[in-house]
Amino acid sequence: MNTVPTLALTMGDAAGIGPEITAKALLLNPGLRDRAIPVVIGDADAMRRGAEFAGLDPEAVRVIHSPRDATNDPHLIEVIQTGPSLADVPVGELSAKAGDGAYRFVVEACRLAKEGAVDAIVTPPLNKAAMHAGGHRFPGHTELLAHEFGVTNYSLVLSAGDLYIFHLTTHVSLQQAIKGVTPERTDSVLRLAGAFARSLGKAKGRIGLAGLNPHAGENGLFGDEDEKILKPSVDRAQQQNINAYGPLAADALIPQAVKGKWDFVIACYHDQGHAPFKAVYGDDGVNITVGLPVVRVSVDHGTAFDIAGQGIAREASLVLAMERAASLAPGWDLVWQEAQASEEALGG
C-alpha cells in the first residue's frame, strides 16, 4: 500500500446529486489530497455536468485509464470512464440507464480493489429502484459489494466519531427482518463486531445488542425472540471473550450510546439503527461495510432527486467518508483477518 491510500470514488447515480457532491468534495476540499488519492470511477460527461451545477469548472474533469495515472492535483477531477456516456440521462428522474451505470461503477471499483490498484472504495449514493430498473436486482450497495467479493459474513455499520452501529438485517421488509433475526445471524454479527473491535484496538469496547421487541420483550410480555434468540447469542459471545451485553431496550441503549456509554451497538433492523442515527448525526455520519476484504465507506444519504441539479447539495458526508476511508485503509488487513477468523470459527 502507498503511504497515501488510493480511493476508488464511485460516482453514484448520474441523475442524482452524486456528480455534484463529488465535484465539490474534490475541488473545494484540497486538504483531502494530503490524506488520499481520489480516483472517480464513473462518467466524465456526468461529472462535467455535476461540476457546472456546483458552480465549478467542468474543464477540471480529466479522463485517466488507471489509478496509477492519477496525479492527485487538487485542481483536477480524475475519472476512469466506465461504460458509455451518460450525458443524456435526465437529472432528477429515475433512469434505468443511470441505474445500470451506478452498478457498473461499483463493479469496476471492486475489480480494481481485487487487483490491488486501489486501497479503499468510497460510494456516493445510488438509487435502488434505478439499479433494479437497469436489471441489477440487489437490495443496495452493501449487498452488491458482498456479492462482488463473495462474502457472506458482513454488516452495514453506521459510524459517527467513535460510535459504530451494526445491523442484523437491513434492506428487507420488517416482516422479513423479524424472520432474519436468527441465532446464526446474531452469532455472526456479534463475532464480527468483536473482531472489528479488536482490530481497532478496542477489544474491551462495550457492545450492546438492541432488543427486537419493545423493552427487549419485557420478560416475554411483548414477544419471546429476545429471550429465546438474542440472549443465548450474547451468552455465547461472552464465553468467547466478546464484551457483549443484551438484549437491551433500544430506546435506552441508543441514547446511552450517543452519550458514550457504548462503543458498539447492534440493531436488529434498518430503521431501529438508521432513524435515531440520522436524527442525531445527519451529515456527520458515514456507512462502513465490515466483513469485506477492502475498506468501503459510504455517505449516509440518498440520491436526492428533488434537489439534483440545483447546486445546493452538501458534500460534507462524502468528505467525511473519504477521510474515514483514508484513516481505515492502512489497518484494514487486520480487520479482514479478524473477520475471516470469525467466520471460520462459525464454520463458514
| pLDDT at residue number 1 | 44
| pLDDT at residue number 282 | 82
289: enclosing H helix or E strand:
strand 286-290
| pLDDT at residue number 343 | 65
Please state, in angstroms and as integers, the Cα–Cα distance from residue 186 to each residue in 111, 137, 262, following that order.
Answer: 30, 25, 18
Angle at 179 between CA 173 and CA 184, to 5 degrees: 125
Q: What is the pLDDT of residues 53-80, one digit of tens each?
A: 999 999 999 999 999 999 999 999 999 9
- Intervals of the chain under pLDDT 70: 1-2, 342-343, 345-348
What is the Cα–Cα distance from 329 to 295, expressed in whole angstroms? Answer: 6
Average pLDDT over all residues of the chain: 94
| pLDDT at residue number 166 | 97
10 Å CB burial of residue 306 (0-12, 13-18, 19+) is exposed
| pLDDT at residue number 342 | 65
Global pTM reads 0.90
Domain extents for the chain? 1-152+291-323, 155-288
Q: Which one-letter DSSP state was computed for residue 22? A: H
Identify the CATH assignment for 1-152+291-323 out of 3.40.50.300, 3.30.590.10, 3.90.1150.10, 3.40.718.10: 3.40.718.10
Give the Cβ contact number of residue 44 at 10 Å. 23
**155-288 — its CATH code?**
3.40.718.10
What is the Cα–Cα distance from 313 to 236, expressed in whole angstroms? Answer: 45
| Neighbouring residues of 111: CB distance < 8 A, sequence distance ≥ 6 | none
